[in-house]
Structure 1
Amino acid sequence: MAKLSCLVISLLSILTIVRGHGYVQQITAGSTVWTGYLPYTDPYYNPPPQRIVRAIPGNGPITDLSLIDVQCNGWSDGGVIGSTPAPLVATVAAGTTLGLNWTTWPDSHVGPMITYMALAPTDITKWQPGNAAVWFKVAQSGKTAAGLWAATDLLTASNSVYSFTIPAKLKAGQYIIRHEIIALHSAFEYPGAQVYPSCIQVQVTGSGTAVPPASSMERTLQQLQVRANSYSYSSHELTHTNVLLQELFTMSTPILACVPPPCFTFLNNLLKAVDLPGLSDSWPGCVSRLTP
């Protein structure tokens, strides 16, 4: 039985590589390391390992953003409605830089990497945000002036580790850190954008008192079509022009520690992603204007 379990785990690990998407597999803060939730091995241990990351069903994307799955992952179509709280909480001081180690990310899946936090009003190991307005943005990386994307260029250059800093003056308490890649490689055709979220549970310590304004994670889609112009996420947040032609991806308003812009609302009614890898940079694809 033990050999069979090892074989199953080994085969599932191989499938993770073959499927070619990704998730956060490890979190670091200085010399402290936490293993993330490993969807192709953790469920097959008895008892399952305890993690600080909420369970995910696999390494695939969320494409229907009207579902609760967009919050902390899930697979509603397969009966996994959203995600459930993790049993553990990592203690980190405000001002700490966290490193989020992704599994190998495919080169074709370009896009921004965005990080939110939400203050838990009760025990985080029992708390589900639902549709409550609790989220605020603390970090974002898109495309540099040199034409490098957060995913995949910068992620690959940093050995698959994305780093961000918890705001130094953030009020102490238990928080969900929601980190995502939004892959835009097939955003040339509605509904192509793919979201890969992970949720990490932390206890933030310190003497800070700042509590940023929060918003819900509901995202409203207006249009996503083949068009050679730009889109923007709600007011003063993101602008993007022609993903596959590698145009500028910027944020109009800078993120300030503990005073980020409102959580943008977008892409509410995505259907299923059209995953067509290998498109050339000359493909005349783009996404159209999104409004709040």
Structure 2
Amino acid sequence: MIKAKPAAAFKAFALTPLLISAVWCLPKAHAAEAQPANTTPTAVALPAVGSCTKVAFNSVSSLKWPLPLYLCHYSAAEFNTLKAQPALDKSWLPNKQSYQGLACNVLDSRLPSIALAHGQHWYRQFANNSEATSAVVQLTELISPYFGCELQLTDTGFTDPCVSARWDKLGRLLAPVSDLPNQSLRQFPFRLDNGKVVLGEADAKLSWQLHDFEPNLQDVTVPLLDRIGKGLFWGKVNEVAALWPQLSAQGELTQSEQARLFIMAVSKQQAAAVRFLVAQGLNPQARTEFGDTALSVAKMIESEAMLQLLSELGANSDSQEQ
């Protein structure tokens, strides 16, 4: 079993709804609806049978794009051979519910393909345990379903450089991550059109839509500190500033609470949010009860920008880490 790193950070995040393995998922009543599709369909050449190529999908709806994808064209024999190989999780097949669950646990709204991909032909072959009789096209998102790191290609499939999870060529998990749920890779929707692969369309009338999971900071059913943290995570500094007097009226924040707010801002590399917290008198060197700091998270996500910013703020001492 492969251990997620750093373990202390994950314990803190699992205990509080403040990051990574428990990224806030909006209640169903407040879940953001799909935005109207306003992307121009991207068509790429279908690679020859037995070959794969990297492609990218762009959306004018989000600055986070392009989304890296891996397009493969398997012969029936190759696909059936891959399909027959055992996977870690026998119940890995995605559906609308599992895709929605994935969407609740990712760091970027660009990541989830939601439910459109689940109906692809090769998924049905798995579900029906039927062998392919012709070539199979597969379009895999090269973004980890764990913490959003870009996947690396290997001879046997894919690997996540951040948590060392591994998947086979069909996106089935081979190496689990301790204390985190098993996750298969997401498959992006497409359709075939005269030797071209149209990215982001399940058919000519059903286009992929960017889903937005930004929180509603005015939802009073959510504790104020949680809303503040969510706002920092998503860079909603102006909205956070408007709520801050309410938070101040509740009394002084503990060191652990201060650390968690900094961690939320740093984890999404929100420089303005980090500077806002410092301007409110919060301590960028604060620790959670597990010893995690903004600096330790910046190092974990390998963010040079955050490391430099924290250095400017005096939070760059190695003594701040356990």
Fold equivalence (TM over 0.5): no
TM-score by length of 2: 0.21
Structure exhibiting the larger radius of gyration computed from Cα positions: 2
TM-score by length of 1: 0.23
Higher strand share: 1
Higher helix share: 2
